[in-house]
Amino acid sequence: MGEVGPLKLKEVQAILNAEVFTGMDKLELEVEAGFASDLMSDVLAFASCRILLLTGLTNPHVIHTATMIDAAAIVFVRGKRPDKSLIQAAREVGLPLLGTRFLMYDSCGRLFQAGLKGCSGDDR
Amino acid sequence: MPSLKLSFPVRARDFLAGGNGAAHIRQVLQQVGFPPEIIRRAAIAAYEAEMNIIIHSYGGELKAHITPGAITITAVDDGPGIPDIELAMQEGYSTAPREIQEMGFGAGMGLPNIRRCADELEIKSGAGQGTTVNIIIYNR
The three-class DSSP label of residue A1 is: coil
Would you say residue A122 lies in a domain? no
Q: Show the domains of chain B with their CATH numbers.
A: 4-138 (3.30.565.10)
Mean pLDDT by 10 residues, chain A (124 residues): 85 98 97 96 90 96 94 97 96 97 98 95 59
Kindly state the average pLDDT of the residues B35-59: 96
Q: Which residues of B touch A68 (CB under 8 A)?
A: 19, 22-23, 26, 40, 43-44, 47
Would you say residue A99 lies in a domain? yes
Task: Give dist(CA B120, CA B115) in Å, integer.
Answer: 8
- Mean pLDDT of chain B, nearest integer: 95
Residues 6+ apart with CB under 8 A from A104: A36, A38, A54, A56, A77, A78
Residue A36: give the domain boundaries. Answer: 7-114
Kindly state the average pLDDT of the residues B67-75: 97
pTM here? 0.91
Count of domains observed in chain A:
1
Would you say residue A67 lies in a domain? yes
The pLDDT value recorded for residue A122 is 63
The pLDDT value recorded for residue A124 is 46
Instruction: Please return the burial class of B86, using the count of CB atoms within 10 Å of its CB with bins 0-12, 13-18 and 19+.
Output: exposed
**CA distances, B41 to each of A47, A80, A118, B113 (Å):** 12, 30, 20, 9
CB contact (8 A) between residue A61 and residue B23:
no
Q: For chains A and B, what is the number of CB pairs under 8 angstroms?
A: 67
Q: Would you report the helix, strand and coil content of chain A in percent, each value rounded to 5? A: 35, 20, 45
Would you say residue A1 lies in a domain? no
Task: Give dist(CA B116, CA B70) in Å, integer.
Answer: 16
Would you say residue A2 lies in a domain? no
CB contact (8 A) between residue B26 and residue A59:
no
CATH number where A12 lies: 3.40.1390.20
> For B4-25, what is each residue's pLDDT tens digit?
999 999 999 998 889 999 999 9
Could you tell me which residues are beta bridge partners of residue B72?
B65, B136
> For B97-106, what is each residue's pLDDT tens digit?
888 888 889 8
Would you say residue A120 lies in a domain? no
Residue of A nearest to B106 (CA): A41
